Chain A
């Protein structure tokens, strides 16, 4: 009797553990879909090196070029701008994940090179313009 109740209590804990895992799974899937659908027009690229802002590019106005970046440890990354898109052209990091990611497409999914501490993040200036125009609307009316 005693062992039976102990077993049942453990089952309840197992159930709670499984429910927690399922909640995490559901939250992850929902947030991934959220990130995929909320696609805005991003034309400003900000490059961060060693956690600090290194350069800001307006992709609409930038011509095709390759930007060389050297971080504090002396590692090199080459960022390429092509047809108003931006990508990591090459990197001397080991895993090459940033290069495999291809062109940056979304403001929420930046290109991150963790070994070399280089981040390319997209933002849209339309967001700022929207808030600005709203601000003026409030003032004028």
Chain B
């Protein structure tokens, strides 16, 4: 999970071809997971509750490469997903959610010094839902949507734990694949 200092230095300097290809692969993977998830019917009649599986990829890229690379991957994912499956309103929702989610994950990861990835994921999910709720507050112009706040918070904690653990196990598998 922890990369050596030289690895980190190499990953921070510039966009190499290998890195570009890998980041593009991660973006494609995240888009594919997003599409798959969109096909699943929502089990709970509360808007905004979903697993957020594409966040697994965002977490993996955040831990493996860094904040800037994650921003790139997430921007590509959001723009392409809005273009392929969504509308303008879904673009606003996912952009607001993903921005807050990324910032929260970055700060949490720094604060707990990259130790428990699932806690980072929980905070990311909480802020993702908070961002989406804020957008719906602005779009509908009524405070009625705030009723969903407790439901969304509980959902975020559960789904955040799940995606965080997924990312944790994915990170343990990835270094072996990359060394080939």
Chain A residues in contact with chain B, CB under 8 A? Answer: 10, 13-14, 17-18, 21, 24-25, 27-29, 31-32, 35, 48, 51-52, 95, 97, 100-101, 108-110, 112, 114-115, 117, 119, 121
Q: Which B residues lie within 8 Å of A48 (CB)?
A: 140-142, 144
> What 12 additional pairs, Cβ within 8 angstroms, besides A10-B113, A21-B123, A25-B157?
A10-B115, A14-B115, A17-B108, A17-B116, A28-B149, A28-B151, A51-B139, A109-B147, A112-B136, A114-B47, A119-B144, A121-B142
Name 17 A/B residue pairs within 8 A (Cβ), A-sorted: A10-B112, A24-B126, A24-B153, A24-B157, A25-B153, A27-B150, A27-B153, A28-B153, A28-B154, A32-B154, A35-B147, A48-B141, A97-B46, A108-B147, A110-B142, A110-B144, A115-B89
Considering the chains assembled together, what is the distance between the CA atoms of A28 and B113 in angstroms?
A: 28
Binary per-residue interface labels of chain B (120-159) against chain A in the complex, 1 for a CB within 8 Å, 0 otherwise: 0011001000000000100111101101011101100100
Chain B residues in contact with chain A, CB under 8 A? Answer: 42, 45-47, 87, 89, 108, 111-113, 115-116, 119, 122-123, 126, 136, 139-142, 144-145, 147, 149-151, 153-154, 157
A114-B140 contact, Cβ under 8 Å, with A17-B119, A17-B123, A97-B42: yes
The chain B residue with its CB closest to the CB of A53 is: B142
Do residues B139 and A117 form an inter-chain contact, with CB atoms below 8 A? yes
Do residues B142 and A51 form an inter-chain contact, with CB atoms below 8 A? yes
A21-B108 contact, Cβ under 8 Å, with A13-B113, A28-B150: no
Do residues B140 and A51 form an inter-chain contact, with CB atoms below 8 A? yes
Do residues B144 and A101 form an inter-chain contact, with CB atoms below 8 A? no
Q: Which B residues lie within 8 Å of A119 (CB)?
A: 140, 142, 144
Q: Which B residues lie within 8 Å of A29 (CB)?
A: 150, 154
Q: Of B47, B112, B139, which is within 8 A of A95 by CB?
A: B47
Q: Which A residues lie within 8 Å of B153 (CB)?
A: 24-25, 27-28
Considering the chains assembled together, what is the distance between the CA atoms of A119 and B126 in angstroms?
A: 24
The chain A residue with its CB closest to the CB of B158 is: A25
Q: Of B42, B47, B136, B157, which is within 8 A of A21 by CB?
A: B157
| Distance of B144 from chain A, by nearest CB (Å) | 4
Q: Of B126, B145, B154, which is within 8 A of A112 by CB?
A: B145
A21-B150 contact, Cβ under 8 Å, with A97-B42, A114-B136: no
Q: Which B residues lie within 8 Å of A115 (CB)?
A: 87, 89
Q: Which A residues lie within 8 Å of B108 (CB)?
A: 17
Do residues A101 and B142 form an inter-chain contact, with CB atoms below 8 A? no
Q: Of B111, B145, B157, which is within 8 A of A13 by CB?
A: B111
Q: Which A residues lie within 8 Å of B139 (CB)?
A: 51, 114, 117
A32-B150 contact, Cβ under 8 Å, with A14-B119, A48-B140, A112-B144: yes
- Most central of B111, B115, B126, B147 by chain A CB within 10 Å: B147
